[in-house]
Structure 1
Amino acid sequence: MDELAFEPELDSAAMKAFAHPLRLRMFSALSNGGPATATRLAERLGENTAQTSYHLRQLERHGLVEEDTSLGKGRERWWRAASFSLPRRDDDATSAVGAVLRSAILEESAATLRTWLTEGGPPEWVNASLEQSTTAILSAGELAALNREVQMVIDRHTDAASGREAELQAGSATLRRIRVLYNGFPLPQDPAAPSED
């Protein structure tokens, strides 16, 4: 069966660098709030600029953030969150840090979704959103095919929308930063069910 390959996977050094609490908060702020300079990020998080500047360089070193050259003026550097995936299997050296990262990402995703569900927004955005849970019986190959097709749809739409950051920063009334949370995974097997052997 073909392995699914989406965003680049983090290596163990990047995972360890990412697991720092302030770096996780900074990445979340860039993901949710969009690109920022070290100074603006420090203001958002209640930190000092020296701290955010240092940690941005560490995140950049591991490919977790990247400079957004479309927004900078002169020596001003704007940073945006990069896309990546966590390894599907941790080795012994990364199992603890992998668990920390997955937990932090899950908590941040749940908090973001909870805020949307609690606060809502204008009717056109509420009507455009979707919260859905579906359960089906599939083979591993069918699940891989489903995930691949969904990823292709997400990629097609996000690729078509790339390059809009400056327009959003300028105050576009029709654009918003959106989040797609998608998980396609097998449920725990019922202990009473026949084994897969």
Structure 2
Amino acid sequence: MTESDTASAPDSPHPQPRERTLDARALRGLAHPLRIRLLGALRHDGPATASQLAEKLGESSGATSYHLRQLAAHGFVEDDPERGKGRERWWKAAHGGTSMRDDLRTSSDPEVRGAADLFLHEVATIHTQELSTWLGTSRDWPEDWTLSSDLSDFTLRLTAGQLRELTEKAHRLVESYYDVAHTDDEDTAQVRVHLHAFPRRSR
């Protein structure tokens, strides 16, 4: 499972490492709703201060400061010394995306399984919010963007191995667009791509 945002922060001259793979300790450090949202904001929109993030997310600066420090302790965020002035502390994401080891979701440790469940449910909630925001604002975009977006679902009959193969192929296809070059006059935007693939029981 991969929860991937941007390959590098907007306007950053130093690309972030593409992905951080979570082990049990890192998962427990990240598995908090506000920490997941803070990390996503830094990945999507670039470096920010705790106060700026508090205003963006509707939280207190005390809460964002505390959870940013916790994210830093686990290696998810770091100082951005190029932007800090005086006592003003700027933060940036240390990686462009997050993936979870398969064994964390089936761990015999209930604390690890609980952290995995919280992380996955929070990611699903964020996806739902992003999709709702798009549907509510799509008329504000030019027609080309509106018609290029997609909201589709498919029902297939597959084995577990075929589902994994499909998911891995889809990931490789999306990842092939990370480093597409653009000219200055091209109309580009940050695009979010969600992939949900799961079995269901039929009657």
> Is contact 1:28-1:108 (8 Å) kept?
no
User: Once the 2 structures are TM-superposed, how far is the Cα of residue 48 of structure 1 from its aligned partner?
Assistant: 4.6
CA distance in 1, matches of 2:142, 2:55: 28
Q: For this pair of structures, how many residues does the alignment match?
A: 177
Deviates more, 1:49-58 or 1:176-185: 49-58
Over aligned residue pairs, what C-alpha RMSD do you find? 3.3
CA distance in 1, matches of 2:122, 2:47: 21
> Is contact 1:17-1:59 (8 Å) kept?
yes
3-state SS of paired residue (2:187): coil
**Corresponding residue to 2:129 among 86, 89, 111:** 111
| Pair 1:140-2:160 in alignment | yes
- Quote the residue 1:194 is aligned against: none
**Corresponding residue to 1:61 among 50, 54, 73:** 73
Residues 1:175 and 1:134: Cα distance change in structure 2 (over 3 Å): same
Q: Which has the higher strand share?
A: 2
CA distance in 2, matches of 1:114, 1:19: 23
Residues 1:139 and 1:131: Cα distance change in structure 2 (over 3 Å): same
Residues 1:46 and 1:152: Cα distance change in structure 2 (over 3 Å): same
> Is contact 1:10-1:84 (8 Å) kept?
yes
Instruction: Give the 5 Å matches for 1:90-169.
Output: 90-91=106-107, 92=109, 93-120=111-138, 121-160=141-180
CA distance in 2, matches of 1:20, 1:144: 28
> Is contact 1:90-1:98 (8 Å) kept?
no
- Quote the residue 2:16 is aligned against: none
Q: TM-score, normalised by structure 2?
A: 0.69
CA distance in 2, matches of 1:56, 1:151: 29
Segments of structure 1 that go 5 or more residues without pairing to the other structure are: 192-197
**Corresponding residue to 2:49 among 24, 37, 41:** 37
**Corresponding residue to 2:25 among 5, 13, 28:** 13
| Pair 1:181-2:194 in alignment | yes
